[in-house]
Structure 1
């Protein structure tokens, strides 16, 4: 049974008090995309895209080999790619609007229908474009290399190179079209079921019917009994829906296994590595380095935290609890904005100027309301518009870091936009660079401004916990996904078995100082990345370790660093990570690279251990 969206009076009164403390928290305007669901421009743009896609197919389908042999082949193919890119942007604009409108209130049937209908239209139109990359990849390497060496086609050389990497795993046109169109009733439908199910859940905490986001927030409440009851509510409600979540997970894992088998991917995560433009051995080296560091990082830190609480072990609901001596703090929205912008400005005025536009021009939705998508993200939309940031701001110091993180994404996406729709998108391995770097800048600024030893100690501890959540926890998530997908090859997994895999990797990563009690075995079911983007999670660890190394370069030699850093962000997806890191003297394929990043976390733990606990 789905609980009512109506909130008890106590919760409403408490929220009013919280709202007064936070000040005015913004809600975005999507008008830069479209005016509303009934927008004539939205319908007109999709109709025009449909006609243009049909015309594009009529002009080029089955004729690219002939065009590549023409006298002006380079210029002709460049014009064809430009038309393809324009269509990609038009469809991306419509799809982005539908997705963002739905994220505003995933419980609204009208918005859900609008998104589903828009998705159907976009899929139908884009079906006429599938032939293009397949036929481009059928052209001989020598031909494309010659034509893209100079002239108009040279601009698209990075996109062509990336496209060639997909060639070994492409199917014939009819099969690709079938996979594309079936996604609407396959992966996309199951993902929507997950989103709507998780949004509709209500967790009973002391008689209050809370949505997921505020319930998770209570795991950081100063009151231990409140944390325990929130944890129990999470476990109880998620367990009541475990069959649904297990069905979604099994179905999507099987869907990926079928796609991987048809496309010839050997490993369960190889398709993600290809999409990320990162080699499997690089990811394996990251995972091995993190797992080897568990005793020095997570196991050690949580032993320290247990001692600060006067215990041998912490219950799982105390893992992210504020320290018992941490000063309580509610950060108003205006203060969070100023803190992040000041930190960005101290590094680069240009970075701060771009970030300020998100506040000044209504590109952020930070208020908490029923039905709103949980979590946080920065959606790049399309290069012709701008990104939009969604978060659920509750006034914690950690929320300030989330704001810095998502604005980092937004700045990155803004800087990369001139690369165009085909090359602006950054592979996930580098997509977390600006976001984590923004967090680091903000953290350092907050530590420098801390007014008491207790506040500084609490900030250092919170940063260590964020890093552990970003590196150790996300690699554990990746290990969990690997085990789940590998085992799914042999048959469907029960919810109980999925819980067993979850508990195993969590125990290994968190260590003996964290007691994983009853109910925790269900917590895998609310993690959206497992549903939306399988194996995405290692990108967080990749980005955190990369940024730790970059920040070390910056601290050692700040002159000229900001310019090189902004150039890295502006490259978008036009260069491989190895090329982008060369100006900084870094190489992710070097076995010692990951030790640098992990050493930064270990150094912060050393610093905490040296400081007297308040």
Structure 2
């Protein structure tokens, strides 16, 4: 297996952020956008002798453009992530945003054309062999077109969004980059970036150090809270004004439609989680006792717990690769083979060094037919699980490679399906491989803590964002109100089980400032539980489930979430039964944890 800790980006475009090959690609994309624009002008689905061939040509051109933008975007954003000082990479990311906005205008025109077609012509179109396979996506585009304003009005919104919506998104990134947190280490003052401080917030083994870091962390974000409040208010304001112009009267409709799910499904998911929260609180209380604390504080929830005197297993990057390939193979030879190819062809940027942005992600390269994975690997079992998680995303892209782009546009809620499934395989394998009870407790604690974050922390984000949007409809929400809303949401979601909370979380969490989608929260919990429900089904069915799982992933962009679950799992997501089966996977872990820790508490 490969020892390389750095990804190979030259195989995508040579020359890094100054790549001539990349600029040539962007030029060809812009030319294709102009050609696509000409194809959708003065055309109608109702003119089937002209409309059908023009639509086919447009979809082919659209495929080239969207694949190209995705390829270039993964490359440029990857370079910016790997080196925060690469100013040219950030410049290219902005350049891509400008080009994408040109395509957005064409896409608007396309959806308007679909919307204006007669039902008779539309039904004839969908029965044509050229369009049957993408009928769901085309229907979705037509419905979206019905909600749009005139072309000129939509073009104005797109133009204004560059310095409005996206401008404030860029402003947030600049504010985050300016955050500096001074800490004392070995008698000296060291200034940490936001990313470095975030790693220490829950990663330090000393509770006092974590609590000190939370205090410093809160203070740093608090110092700039008026600026963060302005940014968040204007992001939400731009979005709400756009909804109002399009006669959208409920701010929850767009995120639900984007995730192709019903509000009933979302509500029953949260209701079922809430019914089971007392068991999770029991876990949190036991964890507090193991840490010699009366109650956990905010940074303790995700912090590691240690009992006894065991030394946690650490993995070299090569050992992590071998472990993942082996245990992926226990479920799917195709998953295992893809992971091996990813390592051998250097898809992963894993080096632990300064200058990298925090976090981990996987991005697709549809033209290269590969993915790129970004993370920082330091050898822990959690790092191995994170690597598996991102490889799960890569597998999701892998099984959809031969599908048209319209059928690869899966929503955020199902985007976490393959990743969480892969992570669960590896997390369970590391627990099974534990060399002592103490190590097994530590690994179980890490796994259950992730579930607690999905059930409590993510729920608090959802509660906060919903209440913030409700207040924002009536005017600006100041920084004190934002702090109060955040702390109230955290207390409610955690059932007041913590000693201290994180009132400035509204400022420090990037997801609240996403310019692509609002409510960048509930899809994580949905994907987590949807994946666990699938995992439960896989255990029940056995080896024959591999093919069904693959087919489910391939259909994630071709039907609603409820239809997907009905077709491949034979379950109704608007009922609690499926959600409880997923939560039961977590409760089994909690039962084992409580049993193993009885003598240590």
TM-score w.r.t. length of structure 1: 0.90
Residue in structure 2 matched with residue 594 of structure 1 by the alignment: 579
Gaps of 5+ in 1: 1-22
Distance of 2:138 and 2:416 partners within structure 1: 24
Residue in structure 1 matched with residue 13 of structure 2 by the alignment: 34
Question: Match for 2:28 among 34, 43, 48?
Answer: 48
Shift of 1:584: 2.2
Distance of 1:417 and 1:127 partners within structure 2: 27
Residue in structure 2 matched with residue 127 of structure 1 by the alignment: 105
Shift of 1:328: 4.1
Distance of 2:26 and 2:237 partners within structure 1: 33
Residue in structure 1 matched with residue 396 of structure 2 by the alignment: 412
Distance of 2:376 and 2:177 partners within structure 1: 14
Shift of 1:245: 1.6
Question: Match for 2:222 among 239, 246, 258?
Answer: 239
Distance of 1:117 and 1:88 partners within structure 2: 15
1:273 equivalent to 2:234? Answer no
Question: What's the secondary structure of 1:347's corresponding residue?
Answer: coil
Q: Do the aligned partners of residues 447 and 380 (structure 1) sit closer, same or farther apart at CA in structure 2, a change above 3 Å counting?
A: same
Q: What does the per-residue CA deviation read over 1:279-311, in whole Å, with 9 as the maximum and x for residues that have no partner?
A: 1221122222223332232x2221111222333
1:57 equivalent to 2:37? Answer yes
Distance of 1:499 and 1:528 partners within structure 2: 16
Residue in structure 2 matched with residue 472 of structure 1 by the alignment: 456
Q: What does the per-residue CA deviation read over 1:235-264, in whole Å, with 9 as the maximum and x for residues that have no partner?
A: 121112222221211111111111221223
1:320 equivalent to 2:283? Answer no
Question: What's the secondary structure of 2:277's corresponding residue?
Answer: coil
Residue in structure 2 matched with residue 188 of structure 1 by the alignment: 166
Residue in structure 2 matched with residue 159 of structure 1 by the alignment: 137
Distance of 1:144 and 1:182 partners within structure 2: 33
Question: Match for 1:98 among 68, 76, 87?
Answer: 76
Residue in structure 1 matched with residue 417 of structure 2 by the alignment: 433
Shift of 1:462: 1.4
Residue in structure 1 matched with residue 272 of structure 2 by the alignment: 289
Shift of 1:76: 4.3
Question: Match for 1:444 among 400, 409, 428?
Answer: 428
Distance of 1:392 and 1:189 partners within structure 2: 29
Point out the more displaced range, 577-586 or 338-347: 577-586
Q: What does the per-residue CA deviation read over 1:35-58, in whole Å, with 9 as the maximum and x for residues that have no partner?
A: 233323222222222233223323
Distance of 2:568 and 2:4 partners within structure 1: 40
Q: What does the per-residue CA deviation read over 1:415-463, in whole Å, with 9 as the maximum and x for residues that have no partner?
A: 2222122221211121110011011101111111111111112211211
Q: Do the aligned partners of residues 196 and 104 (structure 1) sit closer, same or farther apart at CA in structure 2, a change above 3 Å counting?
A: farther
Gaps of 5+ in 2: none
Q: What does the per-residue CA deviation read over 1:562-588, in whole Å, with 9 as the maximum and x for residues that have no partner?
A: 111012122341232233322322221
1:217 equivalent to 2:196? Answer no
Q: Do the aligned partners of residues 304 and 373 (structure 1) sit closer, same or farther apart at CA in structure 2, a change above 3 Å counting?
A: same
Residue in structure 2 matched with residue 362 of structure 1 by the alignment: 346
Q: Do the aligned partners of residues 173 and 232 (structure 1) sit closer, same or farther apart at CA in structure 2, a change above 3 Å counting?
A: same
Distance of 2:318 and 2:361 partners within structure 1: 20
TM-score w.r.t. length of structure 2: 0.92
Q: Do the aligned partners of residues 258 and 292 (structure 1) sit closer, same or farther apart at CA in structure 2, a change above 3 Å counting?
A: farther
Asked if structure 1 preserves the Cα contact closer than 8 Å seen for 2:331 and 2:543, the reply is no
1:536 equivalent to 2:520? Answer yes
Asked if structure 2 preserves the Cα contact closer than 8 Å seen for 1:389 and 1:407, the reply is yes
Residue in structure 1 matched with residue 471 of structure 2 by the alignment: 487
Shift of 1:503: 0.7
Runs of 4+ deviating beyond 4 Å: none
Distance of 1:72 and 1:317 partners within structure 2: 62
Residue in structure 2 matched with residue 344 of structure 1 by the alignment: 328
Q: Do the aligned partners of residues 524 and 328 (structure 1) sit closer, same or farther apart at CA in structure 2, a change above 3 Å counting?
A: farther
Distance of 1:371 and 1:188 partners within structure 2: 24
RMSD over aligned Cα atoms: 2.2
Distance of 1:555 and 1:59 partners within structure 2: 50
Asked if structure 2 preserves the Cα contact closer than 8 Å seen for 1:272 and 1:534, the reply is yes
Point out the more displaced range, 129-138 or 242-251: 129-138
Point out the more displaced range, 488-497 or 142-151: 142-151
The alignment covers a number of residue pairs equal to 587
